[in-house]
Chain A
Amino acid sequence: MEKTSHLGMNRTGVDMSPMHSKAMLEGAERVPGDVEANQMLATRRQEMIMEAGTIGSVPMPGTLKGALSSVMKKATGKSPETFINKLGERLAFERMGVRLYEALITKCETLANQQVGAVFTIDDLRRIRADEARHFQLVHDAITSIGADPTAQTPDADVSAVLSSGVLKVITDIRTTVPQSLEAILTAELADTAAWELLVQMAEAMGMSDMAASFREALEQEERHILQVKQWYTQLMTFEAGGKTTRH
């Protein structure tokens, strides 16, 4: 496996072409900007924020179409659309999580060496993938139970997908290493855990204690994922930096 950090002909910095860089800087210093510095960027952003619409809406749940579920009846008056929005986000994120782990498994199977094998196994990754798939199912059932549509993309599901699009790009890039991919999945796991904490609180506040309990179980699993991934990533990077690594 290629090391994440190796020396080579990186040409991006000014030190790689001192003569050109000197000429470039001298030129830039001689010519000031042609418009006076001010807060134009912030001002235009403010104008546009004021004029903008929203990302989109939460789809109308079955309640408004006449198929009011018993669970949702309980939640009446407690802004169920916010809950549906966040459930939709979790559903989309867990579904993507399954795909992220599948891509990571392929990468690790291809690049794994003794060093990776000493830190974690492909089965470790498969177990986490299975957890993500179960969480997807859990949220799917929760959404269905309250009469909402698990196939709809809610606003926070959309925003969350934009947010995590970089994670997907890093893991599926054929040139990234195992530690680079682990760092990406760690970012996803950290966000995932915080989101499950919120969902547990929301379910409790809506009086859905069974749902809250099942969500708490998922949260505990996600917390274990963070600890594992963080430990693997740290061990691999420590090993690469010349330190010692130990089996987890």
Chain B
Amino acid sequence: MATRLFDAKGVPLEKQLFTWKELAGNTISKLDDDAFTRVRIILMNGIEQQANRFQHHCAMLNGELREALAAVRRVEHHQQTMINWLISPDHSPLETTIAYEQVAIEVTAALAQQEPDDYLAQTYRFGLLEDFDHMYRYSALMDRVEGKDANNILQSYTDIIPGRPTVEEHRAPADDLRTPYDRASANPISKMNALTLVAGEYQTRDYYMNIGPTFTDPVARQLYAEIASIEEQHVTQYASLLDPSESWLEKWLLMEATEAYNYYSCMESETNPWVKAIWERFLEYELGHLQVVANLFQKHEGRDPAEILPTEMPDPIAYQSNREFVRQTLERELNLRARGHQYVDKAQEGEASIAYRSQIHADGVPSEIIAAGYQWHPGTELSRAIRAA
């Protein structure tokens, strides 16, 4: 594996080919595969979805790049298909939701710890405590509506306890905006971390917006509506970290590098051998895309990609339980709130967010309704009752 980004040419675009059977082939086992295999799959689906979304928007506004964008985007689309179709069909939408929140918690915690910039790391810890609470609310929903234990999905890697209460996460739009990194001085890993989190949260938002209405239980429908709204806030938050003065091609280059870095991280930690082979293959594909975009960057902007990209692949994202880090963050930062671009104690929260909450919570709050008095227990609340009897 070449860790020098510019030396590795990857697979040329014209050799990045698929068949339908490959795209919708074997799936992981919900029961037997490690939970982090599913975490990686869900994150990489989101990363590819972001590539697709960005490249479409880029094409809308840059006629001279359309042909190259169409060619790369076709491959990205099929990469996403192959990844998303790895999720086995016995995952219910709510089980997949639990897995999405596990991604949000464990990946955000990992990035918060590897992030060199203090403000960005603070932002990741801030978002982390909110997604952490979503896990608790969805676990209560799963237990109380479907009679299932969320830990069958989590495999004990991730805690199910309240975080910053979802009821208090709803903010006025201006309080979701953050100060962007400076494209000239930020470390490349900071840019890639931010893009990774935008991708993950955007996909989570879209997933909840798609499956929320498929539930029959009225509280389930409302909980998805409520948490989707927070995911929308998180997309606003993380996307506002990106420097808006980066050019379209600079962003495209960074996105390809982010994809390559993420596949490299997945490959390094994957325990399922045939899934690992997919990460290896797609890393080579992304290095191929990077070459295409680097050439376009030189041609259209007359700039050297080395200005933007790290010369070597950074250390891979650590895929492991972050229980202790999350608990320490909970203890220290639970009462933080956002006011404008800054983090303040809850006593200093701005009027606009307080007013927003008071209006939107007027008819009751689904995240409170579903989790009233909930405490996770192995095998569900009913198992605790059996033990107590």
List residues of chain A with CB under 8 Å of any chain B CB.
8-14, 16-17, 20-21, 23-25, 27-38, 40-41, 43-45, 48-49, 52, 162, 169, 173, 175
In the complex, which of the residues A10, A12, A14, A35 contacts B368, with contact meaning CB atoms closer than 8 Å? A35
With contacts A10-B31, A173-B89 taken as known, whether A41 is within 8 angstroms of B370 at the C-beta atoms is: yes
CB distance from A51 to the nearest CB of B (A): 9
Looking at the assembled complex, report how far the CB atom of B134 sits from the nearest CB atom of chain A, in whole angstroms.
14
Q: Which of B99-107, B120-128, B374-382 contacts A (4 or more CB under 8 A)?
A: B374-382
Do B144 and A41 touch across chains, with their CB atoms under 8 A apart? yes
Contact status A17-B155, CB under 8 Å: yes
> In the complex, which residue of chain A has the Cβ closest to the Cβ of B381?
A37
User: Residue of B at shortest CB range from A9?
Assistant: B32
Chain B residues lying within 8 Å of A36, measured Cβ to Cβ, are 372-373
Q: Which residue of A lies closest to B157 (CB)?
A: A20
Verify A27–B372 contact, CB threshold 8 A.
no
Asked if B35 is at the interface of the complex by the 8 Å CB criterion, the answer is: yes
A48 to B157, CA, bound (A): 36
Question: What's the Cα separation between A175 and B157 when bound, in Å?
Answer: 27
Q: Are B372 and A33 in contact (CB under 8 A)?
A: yes
Selected interface stretch from B108-116, B160-168, B251-259: B160-168
- Give B residues with C-beta under 8 Å from A: 27, 30-35, 88-90, 144, 151-153, 155-162, 165, 216-219, 222, 321, 323, 327, 364, 366, 368-378
Q: Complex Cα distance A36/B368, Å?
A: 9
Residues from chain A with Cβ under 8 Å of B35 in the complex:
11
Give the docked Cα–Cα distance between A129 and B224 (Å): 41
In the complex, residue of chain B having the shortest beta-carbon distance to the beta carbon of A24: B156
Q: Which residue of B lies closest to A173 (CB)?
A: B89
28 example contacts (A-B, Cβ-Cβ < 8 A) are as follows A10-B32, A12-B152, A12-B155, A14-B378, A16-B155, A17-B156, A20-B156, A20-B323, A23-B323, A24-B158, A24-B159, A25-B378, A27-B161, A27-B323, A28-B161, A31-B375, A34-B162, A35-B368, A35-B371, A35-B373, A37-B373, A41-B369, A41-B370, A44-B366, A49-B218, A169-B90, A173-B90, A175-B27
Interface of B is mostly: loop
Give the distance to chain B from A6, nearest Cβ to Cβ, in Å. 11
Contacts of B376 in A (CB 8 A): 24, 28
Q: Knowing that A33-B374, A35-B368, A44-B366 touch, tell me 16 more A-B residue pairs with CB under 8 angstroms.
A: A11-B35, A17-B155, A20-B157, A23-B323, A24-B156, A29-B375, A32-B373, A33-B371, A35-B373, A38-B372, A40-B369, A40-B370, A40-B372, A41-B372, A162-B216, A169-B90
B30 contact set on A, CB distance < 8 A: 12
Please state if A40 and B368 are interface contacts (CB–CB under 8 Å). Answer: yes
Q: Known contacts A28-B161, A40-B372: does B151 contact A175 (CB below 8 Å)?
A: no
User: In chain B, what residue has the closest Cβ to A20?
Assistant: B156
For the complex, give the distance between the alpha carbons of A14 and B159 in Å.
13
Query: Which 3 pairs between the two chains have the least Cβ-Cβ distance?
Result: A37-B373, A48-B218, A20-B156
